Amino acid sequence: MNQTPLLYPLGMLLLLGIAPADVLARIKLTTLPVRERVEIQLDHPQIALVEEERIVPLVKGVNQVDFSWVNTRIDPDTLVLRILSSTGEQPLDAKVLSVSYPPNETALVWSVAANASGTARMRISYVLEGLSKEFHYRAVADHDEKTLDLAQYLRIGNAANEAYDAAQFWVGVGKRFEKSLGLNETKEVQLDRFTTVPVRKTYTCDPVKFGYLDRAQDKLKVPMHYVIKNAGNPLGREALPEGKVRIFQDDGQGGDAFLGEDRATFTPPDDKLELYLGLARDIEVRRTVERNERQRIAGDLYRYDITLKYEIENFKDKPVTLDIVENVRQIRDALRGDNGRDPEWTLGDGTLRQPDPEQSDADKLLFHVDLPARATDDSAQKQIHTLRLTLNNEW
């Protein structure tokens, strides 16, 4: 690995001592040992761990290894020197005796004792600030929106005031890769590509999370998402880091149509990644409170019978599944007020009576509603659905 190290931002200079008295003098050599190997770990969100190896000449006795980092964003408290092995024909036993910090200098000096003259491979590790990383993705769905290809990219920026002619990088996911990284330079690499990933396109109305398109007319927003599960072949080996996603779809004519951008959240294995595609303007959902009645149980305790009504129209030329999400606590708080207690509720005999067991919990209910395609005259068949709840032991 041929590299030309900088004289000062990251210089390692040697003082060779023959006798104990000679050790007191520091002489900075003009020719520096080149870096034989550099590894940069960027798995931490703010800092980088750098390990570099150099072949260092030593003489019998005590040597001084002088390390300087003028204007380089090294944390001096993290500097560590390790002697790995001798590299010459004659075996060499060397060890670090002490470390000192020269006054008024961004440098330190390791005292290294050697039992013979020769060369040794040394590893210097330190924490470095100023190296940034950013993940981003390109997702291309097929024409039928059943699968997509997901390419994962990494962008590295260097504001650490140090150049690396060649370094091996690792960012916590994906394979290690080797790149040069100059001063104030930005490099981009493709870390991975996942092909034919199963995807599900969803249409969801959720008054708590997404709100209303037209509150005066009780019309809910219906956002669209591509949902990918980070599991199975080819995904699921590692987490998907947070990053911007540019989303495309095969237009069926040899090109890709741009659908939009979203910010992917950190997605561990077996979790789901949702990519926002915009609002579905051709699916209309009107949500109203059809019934809200109170009956005394005993004393100050009441039972509330509530019916929510949904009028749904699909103007698409193909059938779709609409996900309706409701939060029982939010329904109670909106209609009766928050009394600080967990709601006690039961589902009634409305048309929405079988929530998805995997995506529902004590408060959240998710229902799947199949909507037929619009008619040949472009009219939509209106569906009416109801959600009936009984709230018990309310104040």
Residue 44 falls inside a structural domain = yes
pLDDT-derived band of residue 379, with 50, 70 and 90 as boundaries? confident
| CA 16/CA 29 separation, integer angstroms | 10
Its pTM stands at 0.81
Boundary of a domain, candidates 128, 145, 165: 128
Residue 6 falls inside a structural domain = no
pLDDT tens per residue, range 247-288: 999 998 999 999 999 999 999 999 999 999 999 999 999 999
**Same domain assignment for residues 182 and 122:** no
Return the C-alpha torsion angle 230, 179, 8, 59, nearest 10: 100
Reply yes or no on whether the pLDDT at 390 is more than 80.
yes
- 3-class DSSP state for residue 235? coil
Q: What per-residue confidence (pLDDT) applies to 22?
A: 40
Count the helices and strands in the chain (H runs, E runs).
1, 26
pLDDT tens per residue, range 331-369: 999 998 888 889 999 999 999 999 999 999 999 999 999
Range of the domain at 65: 11-128
**Same domain assignment for residues 161 and 287:** no
Residue 351 falls inside a structural domain = yes
Return the C-alpha torsion angle 384, 385, 390, 391, nearest 10: -100
pLDDT tens per residue, range 200-237: 999 999 999 999 999 999 999 999 999 999 998 779 89
pLDDT tens per residue, range 152-167: 999 999 999 999 999 9
CB burial readout 93-122, b (16+ within 10 A) else e: ebeeeeeeeeeeebbbbbbbbbeebbbbbb
Residue 148 falls inside a structural domain = yes
Once rounded to an integer, what is the mean pLDDT over residues 74-95? 88
**Same domain assignment for residues 49 and 186:** no
**Same domain assignment for residues 41 and 102:** yes
Residue 214 falls inside a structural domain = no
**Same domain assignment for residues 124 and 136:** no
**One-letter amino acid of 6:** L
**Tally of structural domains, the chain:** 3
**Same domain assignment for residues 145 and 19:** no
pLDDT tens per residue, range 289-322: 999 999 998 888 999 999 999 999 999 999 999 9
